[in-house]
Amino acid sequence: MTTVVERILRRAERVPATVAITHVTPKGATDITWGEFADSLFRWGGVLKDLEGSKGRPVLIFLPHSHEMYFAYFGAMAGGLIPSYMPLPSAKQEPGYYWASHRTLVDRIKPAAIIAPDEIREDMVKAGIGIPAERILTPGGIEALAKPVDAAGREAMLAAIGPEDIALLQHTSGTTGLKKGVALSHGAIILQSEAYSKSIDLDESGTIVSWLPLYHDMGLIACLMGTVLTGNRLVNMDPFHWLNRPGRLFELAQTHGGSHIWLPNFAFDHLVNTVRKPEKFDLSGIKAFVSCSEVSRPQTARRFVQHFEPAGVTAGQCAVSYAMAETVFAVTQTPMGRPFKACTVPMGELGPGDRVRFMDEGAEDSRELMSCGPVLPGVTVRIVDPERNEVEDGVVGEVEIQAPFLFSGYFALPEKTAEKLRDGKYYSSDLGFKHDGEIFILGRADDMVILNGKNIFANEVEQSLQQIEGLKPGRIVATGVDDARLGSQRLVVMAELKEDVVEDRQAAISDEVSEKVSREFGVDVADVWLVPLGALHKTTSGKISRHKNREYYVANRRDDEHARI
Amino acid sequence: MSTPGFEELQKVLAKILDVSPDEVKKTSVAKDFKNWDSISHSSIVLDIEDAFDVEFDDEEIFSFTDVGHIYDTVMKKLGAAG
């Protein structure tokens, strides 16, 4: 067994002049060869390794889309540290507040260093991110200290890390202080890659084209690690560039002979909504557009195939994976070349213990669910009830996963780890069922809302709104509501007003809710519905029911009352 | 007060942002509109390009956070073309 860094080095020794990464910015594209990649990551690794007490400690990387983001990450790994890509604040987040909110996380995981550009470094120091200023390193500062590492030096660095060591942390979304760092070993990452690449027909002749952020598992593992470990080429766009010019992704795929593209469901819809001349592309050479990270919707796949038919797209290119950071990445994959497969079930939500009633396609009051395919070889998925007993096929339960490539735990959170990882099994909190040997995923058993691929915990949003003047504490619901046009969910907040709130104040309260959520979570609230005291639905035990209130919202909120749903 | 081309820009933006044209001012910024977010930004850009028959550079689009700047860029392009 080897390590991720050793894989890069051996590839660089074999084909130093071959392109590993084509880095794309709005200004143009630049290539990084395997030789340059290895040279730079060892130079950076040398600097990070020499930081006192850095071995085995995390490094938080807050870098914009740049060559340095690759060198910092794999350099940290080569130096025996544990890198983690972190998101930069959105335009709507106030930098001072954003950096100060990292203090709890920094105190818990005690990173050896943070790597950030000069302009951000200053904000971090001013806000008090919780690490001495001299340990907030800039790319320029590292480059000034970096020296070439010769062959013997590289082998010595490789010898200091092993397959059981933690290679990286993937931090979950949500409130910064509560983020959990999913710790993955070199061995787990390599084993998952070997199982997965076979299932998607990905080898060193492939080209992955991506716009996905690297702090997200699909961008980091499927795309960046997909290239690093299978030795193919990554064409990597800036996520913001893609959002502004979605069609560029397909131009790049065409120019560079793209073979694989991963997209969350909303991105398929975004491409349909914005690429107005599909006939100018030839996408027939793409082996797979893999839908992942959000619940995949058959309607979206159908729209995508129909819209891009003039570009040569067929249903057989639309693949689906079910993946999560805790299993490195995918645990299921639909067979390559097979058109996507859906089943038809009655309208309405399916909950744990419900037996799925299958209907004919197009039946009245029905909805469709997409198959995520069979599980990868070596993986066992069981659908279980709350007592962890396996339920029959066609019955809804929690998805339990056993695989040779599970995570090592949540970094510095032993209690959280024990909750989710028991007896070599990972309890996913996802609800799903088995049917015809394939896995169907319905959504979350907990309170997660997935907005355009970004995970937000509803309970954290509700908690953050408790102190808003005029709202009744404990009488607030945040929930996700499906938006078919977007192919994703929209965040909706329903809140009870205190009795003494005059009507004139309501608009200001709504604005305060929207601004607070935007500042703290970096997402927009699509609608704030302020309701009279006692109007929200409760469970029999008197708790506010998110599920019932969501149903009430969908059935009763009128289009003319709000802007966006 | 009307400015050449601005009324047309107002109409394009008002339609996609689902507001009335007079709510779109040169001083308006993206944050003033609920429907102007990172997802709708690309459609806004495409609609303006179609309406004025211009094409923006990818870099230019990043700076399109206020209406006045978009208007100036469109006018500059039309002037350069004419």
For the cut 80, the answer to whether the pLDDT of residue A23 exceeds it is yes
In a domain, A189, yes or no: no
- Residue tagged 């802007």 (tokens): A563
Chain B partners within 8 Å of A241 (Cβ):
58, 62
For the cut 90, the answer to whether the pLDDT of residue A97 exceeds it is no
- Chosen domain end from A179, A213, A246: A179
Whole-angstrom distance, CA of residue A385 vs CA of residue A188 = 28
User: Residue A536 sits in which domain range?
Assistant: 449-561
Same domain, A530 and A460: yes
Q: Which tokens go with A453?
A: 């691929």
Look up the ipTM and state it.
0.87
Same domain, A109 and A53: yes
Q: Do B43 and A274 touch (CB under 8 A)?
A: yes
Q: Contact, A222 vs A202, CB < 8 A?
A: no
Chain B partners within 8 Å of A244 (Cβ):
41-42, 45, 58, 61-62
CA distance A342 to chain B (A): 27
Nearest to B41 among A243, A266, A564 (CB): A243
Binned at pLDDT 50, 70 and 90, residue A175 comes out as low
Q: Do A564 and B34 touch (CB under 8 A)?
A: yes
Q: What's the whole-number mean pLDDT along residues A412-438?
A: 95
Same domain, A430 and A484: no
| pLDDT attached to residue A92 | 73
Q: Supply the CATH number for residue A519's domain.
A: 3.30.300.30
Q: What's the whole-number mean pLDDT along residues A308-325?
A: 97
Which ranges of chain B does DSSP label H, i.e. alpha helix? 6-17, 41-52, 58-62, 67-81
| pLDDT attached to residue A544 | 80
Same domain, A524 and A388: no
Q: Is B53 on the interface with A (CB under 8 A)?
A: no
Q: Is B29 on the interface with A (CB under 8 A)?
A: no
For the cut 50, the answer to whether the pLDDT of residue A560 exceeds it is no
Q: Supply the CATH number for residue A433's domain.
A: 2.30.38.10
Chain B interface, mutation test: which of A27, A244, A559, most B Cβ atoms within 10 Å?
Answer: A244
The three-state secondary structure class of A218 is helix
Chain B partners within 8 Å of A563 (Cβ):
18, 34-35
Domain tally, chain B: 1
CA distance A168 to chain B (A): 29
Q: What is the largest CA-CA distance in chain B?
A: 35
In a domain, A230, yes or no: no
- Chosen domain end from A396, A424, A444: A444
Same domain, A413 and A541: no
Binned at pLDDT 50, 70 and 90, residue A270 comes out as very high
Same domain, A71 and A50: yes
| pLDDT attached to residue B80 | 66
User: Residue B14 sits in which domain range?
Assistant: 6-81
Same domain, A386 and A498: no
Q: Contact, A321 vs A351, CB < 8 A?
A: no
In a domain, B61, yes or no: yes
CA distance B17 to chain A (A): 10
- Chosen domain end from A143, A158, A179: A179
Q: What's the whole-number mean pLDDT along residues A256-266?
A: 96
Q: Supply the CATH number for residue B47's domain.
A: 1.10.1200.10
Segments of A145-222 assigned E as strands = 166-171, 181-185, 207-210
Domain tally, chain A: 3
pLDDT, tens only, B12-71: 999 999 999 999 999 999 888 888 888 889 999 999 999 999 999 999 998 898 999 999
Between the CA of residue A77 and those of A17, A50, A168, A214, A409, what are the distances in Å?
23, 13, 7, 15, 18
Please enumerate residues of A whose Cβ is less than 8 A from a Cβ of B: 26-27, 91-92, 240-241, 243-246, 248, 266, 270, 273-274, 276, 452, 486, 524, 563-564
In a domain, B1, yes or no: no
**Closest by alpha carbon to A101, among A181, A182, A175?**
A175
In a domain, A196, yes or no: no
In a domain, A531, yes or no: yes
In a domain, A361, yes or no: yes
Q: Do B42 and A246 touch (CB under 8 A)?
A: yes
Chain A interface, mutation test: which of B19, B29, B35, B42, most A Cβ atoms within 10 Å?
Answer: B42
Chain B partners within 8 Å of A27 (Cβ):
59
- Residue tagged 């959280």 (tokens): A416
pLDDT, tens only, A38-96: 999 999 999 999 999 999 999 999 999 999 999 999 999 999 999 999 999 887 778 88
pLDDT, tens only, A502-557: 888 899 999 999 988 888 888 889 999 999 998 998 876 677 888 889 888 988 88
Q: Supply the CATH number for residue A154's domain.
A: 3.40.50.980
In a domain, A556, yes or no: yes
Same domain, A356 and A393: yes
Q: What's the whole-number mean pLDDT along residues A260-268?
A: 96
Q: Which residue of A has its CA nearest to B56?
A: A245
**Closest by alpha carbon to A348, among A501, A482, A152?**
A482
Q: Is B34 on the interface with A (CB under 8 A)?
A: yes
Q: Which residue of A has its CA nearest to B19?
A: A563
